[in-house]
Amino acid sequence: MKTVIIFDHPYTATASENVPHHRAFLAALARQVTQQLVAQHQEVDLIDLHADHFDPVMSAAELGRWRQGQPVNDQVADYQQRLLAADQIIFMFPVWWEVMPAMTKGFLDKVYAKGQLYAAPSMQTKLVKHPQIRLITTMSTPNWAYRWVFGAPLIKALRRGTFYKTRLWHVRWQNFAQVEKKSLAERQQLLSNFKLK
């Protein structure tokens, strides 16, 4: 089994330790996920978007290549090949303004591209292994408010609007709400209890 993790946080996946002003619970989760997968003898391939200096903005020249079914640049071509080899894809990011940050959105726009990873006009995925998709997120909005007040826009955009649309049916979401309000001991407990569903 090969798992590709797409990690999106400005502090990068290196921010897993409790270092003031350079710590992210999401990075600690990424470390925990990686340890679990390695213990299961899975190969883990980390795409750390900020560490890679990925540019989420689609330029006019890149859009021209995208429309012709070509990778928009060499970095994107590399990401696409890595996704094609995946049995499982895990997106990890904080939820900002109720949706994904720009890096994750830009990754989907540029990398999960027609002619490369899905066929146009059928919208059928070209990910031949039909990998399981996992979303692991953190957010400051309470879970109940996210679902019942805001209508869970992230799930509508990703599960329905992206993955189901391209016939990727196995999508799971694990969310950690209001982690910033928890004590260090409570966060450590969450990490020690965390298991991929």
Ordered domains of the chain (ranges, CATH): 2-193 (3.40.50.360)
Pairing verdict, β 132-139 and 171-177: parallel
User: Looking at residue 120, what is its pLDDT?
Assistant: 83
What's at 90, amino acid-wise? Answer: I
Report how far residue 35's alpha carbon sits from residue 184's, in angstroms, rounded to the nearest whole number.
21
Give the single-character DSSP code of 178. S
Q: Is 137 helix (H, G, I), strand (E, B) or coil?
A: strand
Q: Please report, in angstroms and rounded to a whole number, the separation of the first and last CA atoms in the chain.
A: 16
pLDDT, tens digit only, all 197 positions of the chain:
999 999 999 999 998 887 776 789 999 999 999 999 999 999 999 999 999 999 999 999 999 999 988 999 999 999 999 999 999 999 999 999 999 999 999 999 999 998 889 988 899 999 978 899 999 999 999 889 999 999 899 989 999 999 999 999 999 999 998 888 888 888 889 888 988 87
**H-type alpha helices, the chain:** 25-39, 60-67, 74-84, 102-110, 143-148, 153-155, 184-193
If one counts every other C-beta atom within 10 angstroms of the C-beta of residue 81, the result is 11
Smallest CA-to-CA distance from 54 within 8, 116, 3, 86 is with: 8
Report how far residue 61's alpha carbon sits from residue 197's, in angstroms, rounded to the nearest whole number.
41
Q: How many residues does the chain have?
A: 197
For the question of whether the overall pTM of this predicted structure is more than 0.75, the answer is yes
User: Looking at residue 22, what is its pLDDT?
Assistant: 75
